[in-house]
Structure 1
Amino acid sequence: MNDTLIRTSALAAVLAGGIVFAAGAAQDKLVLDGSTTVGPIAKAFAEHLMRQDPAINITVSESGSGNGAKALLNGTCDIANLSRHLKGAEKEAMEAKGLKPVAHVAAYDALPVVVHPSNKVGDLTIEQIRDIYTGKIANWRDVGGFDKPIVVISRDTNSGTYETFAELVLGKDGKVAKTAEYAGSNGAIRQRVQKTEGAIGYVGIGFIDDTVKVVKVNGVAPSVETALDKTYPINRELFMFTNGEPAAGSLAAKFLGLITSREGAAMVEEIGFVPVPAKK
């Protein structure tokens, strides 16, 4: 998984001519860690605030949802980005240390199922996807496709994206086939699928493009509308967690305030996710 350090200063902006990675002391700082899915939202928010005030320093790392929860527990981040809710054990561990985890919904998402553009399969049921991922279905001809072995691509098991997929598709007792390949990010899955004719994968809605083919699930295509009304069956909320509510006027409060601002909603939508309704 990639760790991305985002920092800024006015001088660095001039020298770099683009997004800057900081120099100089900051008057205020914020550290975020966690989900590679939520990462692009966090980076966009960070860049927005740092353009407004070059004195602040915001670091965004993408070590996965599970590691984000650990970072919040250990006090090594101010905001944990998770593409799933906290697990019971994670919440209990935090409370045992005196933490008060607060969930902030950052955006809504669907998990599109993607295949190679040459694949003629355009619709799969949840049951068929489950059978593909557990190894019961191993050839595309069994679901109306070409006679070619299915190459199963999954997110790594520390990923919140994986855990959402496992909960909503695999079910409590479902286990990914031993022959499956694991990828460390949404982008890695997309890259593998676009280069492999027999591949199938799943990514956040913000990661789909014309290099892969999105299949319908139970007859419903993933979209902003079907993510919000939950008619697309593989949908989820994306979270940012803090230890208690941030103090009014703090950098964390300003950062999280972007979620329901018009500017923040525009950033989330531009990235490809579904924004939380903006405050009027």
Structure 2
Amino acid sequence: MKRIASIALSGLLALGMLTGCGSNTSDSSSSSEDLSGTISAAGSSALKPLADEAAKDFQEKYPDVSITVDAGGSGEGLKQVSDGTVTIGMSDVAAEEKLDADQAKELTDHQVAVITMAPIVNKDVKEGGVDNLTTEQLIDIFTGKITNWKDVGGPDEDIVLVTRPSSSGTRATFTKYALNGNEEAENKSMETDDSGVLLKNVQDTKGAIGYVALSYLVDNDDVATVSIDGVEPTLENTYSGDYKVWAVEHMYTKGKGSKTDRAFIKYMMSDDFAKTTEKLGYGVASKMSSMDH
């Protein structure tokens, strides 16, 4: 996955095309020299690495701004921004999929990036012969129908599912596009609400399989990725439309959000920061062959 960081960065100015209707990311406040205040973001662990990097850069530019970024899952982030616990809710899915219609209407959608989700396995599984799974095999594994790797050409050892909770947008994306809507076998899995923890669990557990965003796999050789139907989970294949397991990353504010919130989101979508986006394993709209699955 190290080659993710080497993808050409042309066309990044079109990242602003991802902004949702009603978004105020064009607000000019990001150039304010006296910008101050507190930003609290929570939700998608898939988006957290990008938000963390943006927060670090933004605070260097505006030292009077305080930013905290937490994970917890997309559903939790949406709930928290809706009830005012945080100022930005990060999500891999649209608010309408996790909140009541009335709650979702109160939020403004800022679409900041494209995220690709990859199946990952403990390295012993790949070394045992599994580097590709068909969609049917993947569904059978995650629904508990197949429980030993030997049944898909791998080593004779139990399959250990390492998954995300139902509140997770990463799980929602993986379920929808990798498992064709089939729900995971809840009672047969190790579950965690953080992608970083999931990655470590797969790394440390023989026979384990899970899924994370490509942003967690940049310069990481501790786990192995698995192709789906012969297509590798890469940004190149996402852009071309060959790889299907991806989603738009959202940042939601309640109403317009504060001047400081809007400035931070605008910075994440700016040309100044865009060069970091692909380096961290995220995709941009200008390179997508289609924004429809």
Deviation at 1:118, TM superposition (A): 2.5
Query: How big is each residue's C-alpha offset from its partner over 1:126-154, in whole Å with a ceiling of 9 and x where there is no partner?
Result: 11111001111111111111111111111
Deviation at 1:260, TM superposition (A): 2.9
CA contact (8 A) 2:133 2:227 kept: yes
Q: Sequence identity of aligned pairs in percent? A: 29
Deviation at 1:121, TM superposition (A): 0.5
Whole-angstrom distance in 1 between the partners of 2:98 and 2:77: 14
The answer on 1:260 being equivalent to 2:269 is: yes
What is the one-letter code of the residue matched to 2:243?
A: Y
Query: How big is each residue's C-alpha offset from its partner over 1:237-266, in whole Å with a ceiling of 9 and x where there is no partner?
Result: 11111233457xx22222121233222212
Q: In structure 1, what is the equivalent of residue 198 of structure 2?
A: 189
Deviation at 1:76, TM superposition (A): 2.1
Equivalent position SS for 1:90: coil
Q: In structure 1, what is the equivalent of residue 282 of structure 2?
A: 273
Q: In structure 2, what is the equivalent of residue 137 of structure 1?
A: 146
The answer on 1:114 being equivalent to 2:117 is: no
Larger deviation, residues 128-137 vs 44-53: 44-53
Larger deviation, residues 81-90 vs 203-212: 81-90
Deviation at 1:173, TM superposition (A): 5.0
- The one of 199, 210, 213 equivalent to 1:204 is 213
- Matched residue count: 248
Q: In structure 2, what is the equivalent of residue 90 of structure 1?
A: 99
Q: In structure 2, what is the equivalent of residue 242 of structure 1?
A: 253
- The one of 227, 230, 233 equivalent to 1:222 is 233
CA contact (8 A) 1:155 1:184 kept: yes
CA contact (8 A) 2:116 2:238 kept: yes
CA contact (8 A) 2:36 2:260 kept: no
CA contact (8 A) 1:83 1:238 kept: yes
CA contact (8 A) 1:113 1:215 kept: yes
Deviation at 1:166, TM superposition (A): 1.9
Query: How big is each residue's C-alpha offset from its partner over 1:73-110, in whole Å with a ceiling of 9 and x where there is no partner?
Result: 11222211012222346151315xxx532222221111
Whole-angstrom distance in 2 between the partners of 1:260 and 1:276: 11
Q: Which runs of 5+ in 2 are unaligned?
A: 1-34, 288-293
The answer on 1:42 being equivalent to 2:48 is: no
Q: In structure 2, what is the equivalent of residue 213 of structure 1?
A: 224
Deviation at 1:172, TM superposition (A): 4.1
Change in CA separation of 1:30 and 1:150 when aligned onto 2, cut-off 3 Å: same
What is the one-letter code of the residue matched to 1:117?
A: K
Deviation at 1:230, TM superposition (A): 3.0
The answer on 1:102 being equivalent to 2:108 is: yes
- After superposition, residues 172-187 of structure 1 pair within 5 angstroms as 172=181, 174-187=183-196
CA contact (8 A) 1:34 1:68 kept: yes
Deviation at 1:187, TM superposition (A): 1.4
Whole-angstrom distance in 1 between the partners of 2:80 and 2:239: 30
Change in CA separation of 1:48 and 1:191 when aligned onto 2, cut-off 3 Å: same
- After superposition, residues 37-76 of structure 1 pair within 5 angstroms as 37-76=46-85
Deviation at 1:224, TM superposition (A): 1.3
Change in CA separation of 1:197 and 1:48 when aligned onto 2, cut-off 3 Å: same
Q: Which runs of 5+ in 1 are unaligned?
A: 1-25
What is the one-letter code of the residue matched to 1:244?
A: G
Q: Provide TM-score, normalisation by structure 2.
A: 0.78
Deviation at 1:190, TM superposition (A): 1.5
CA contact (8 A) 1:133 1:177 kept: no
Q: In structure 2, what is the equivalent of residue 16 of structure 1?
A: none
CA contact (8 A) 2:112 2:250 kept: yes
Structure with the bigger RCO (C-alpha within 8 Å, sep 6+) is: 2
